[in-house]
């Protein structure tokens, strides 16, 4: 019985129908070149990747004034041939100020790829002793500040490994992995090498 009050009701018959569960969306195949887990070792002394690519990133995308540049340099982790040098300046003023390097696993920075078979992000880093962040961008959190994990780039090479779950993703729609200086104004420089998503 339904009505606006207990003295003004009507009897209705309702039929409850079972709903079929929504069909699970078929995920695309992982990008070619991602099978081994190695993204870049920079031993060819080029800013290159086994799949996808590298670009500088900064808050200029949102009206800020921070800057970043990328260059392949000699002398990588574990006495390897090369590494990626990331340098620039974080300029205060943006709501969220950042600058650094972005690896995009797709053909373009906006393309999401399926890396759900992978479980960790691993890389080596050294630098000016500053605090930096690794961030994972996904199609699901597009337009939001991504989850980040901190690392310190000291004068000696050090390996860092983070589970993908630390970034609140299962890896099915990754659009980028950033290596950033964030919210700390000033010039910066660090190097990364042997970047892997395994």
> Could you list the residue range(s) of the whole structural domain that residue 98 is in?
38-197
Residue 140 lies in a domain: yes
pLDDT of res. 164: 97
DSSP string, the chain: -EEEETTEEE-------PPPPPPPPPPPPPPTT-TTSEEE--TTSSS--SSSEEEEEEGGGGT---EEEEEEEE--GGG-SEEEEEEEEE-BTBSS-EEEEEEESSSSTT--B--TT--EEEEEEEESS-EEEEEEEESTTTTSPPPEEEEE--SS-EEEEEEGGGGT--STTEEEEEEEEES--EEEEEEEEEEEE-
> What pTM does this model have?
0.86
pLDDT band at 145 (very low <50, low <70, confident <90, very high): confident
Residue 47 lies in a domain: yes
Dump pLDDT digits (tens) for 82-99.
999 999 999 999 999 999
CATH code of the domain covering residue 122: 2.60.120.430
pLDDT of res. 61: 92
Residue 32 lies in a domain: no
pLDDT band at 190 (very low <50, low <70, confident <90, very high): very high
């Amino acid at each position: 019985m339904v009505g606006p009050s207990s003295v003004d009701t009507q009897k209705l018959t309702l039929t409850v129908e079972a709903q079929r569960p929504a069909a699970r969306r078929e995920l695309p195949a992982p990008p070619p070149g991602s099978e081994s887990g190695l993204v870049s070792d920079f031993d060819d002394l080029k800013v290159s990747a086994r799949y996808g690519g590298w670009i500088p990133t900064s808050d200029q995308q949102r009206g800020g004034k921070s800057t970043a540049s990328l260059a392949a340099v000699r002398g990588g982790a574990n006495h390897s041939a090369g590494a990626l040098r990331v340098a620039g300046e974080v300029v205060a003023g943006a709501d969220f100020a950042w600058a650094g390097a972005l690896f995009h696993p797709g053909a373009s920075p906006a393309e999401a790829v399926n890396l759900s078979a992978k479980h960790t992000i691993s890389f080596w880093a050294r630098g000016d002793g500053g605090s930096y962040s690794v961030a994972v961008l996904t199609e699901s959190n597009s337009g939001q500040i991504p989850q980040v994990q901190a690392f310190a780039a000291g004068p000696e090479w050090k390996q860092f490994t983070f589970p993908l779950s630390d970034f609140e993703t299962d890896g099915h729609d990754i659009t980028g992995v950033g290596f950033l200086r964030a919210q700390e104004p000033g010039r910066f420089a660090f190097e990364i090498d042997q970047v892997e998503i395994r």
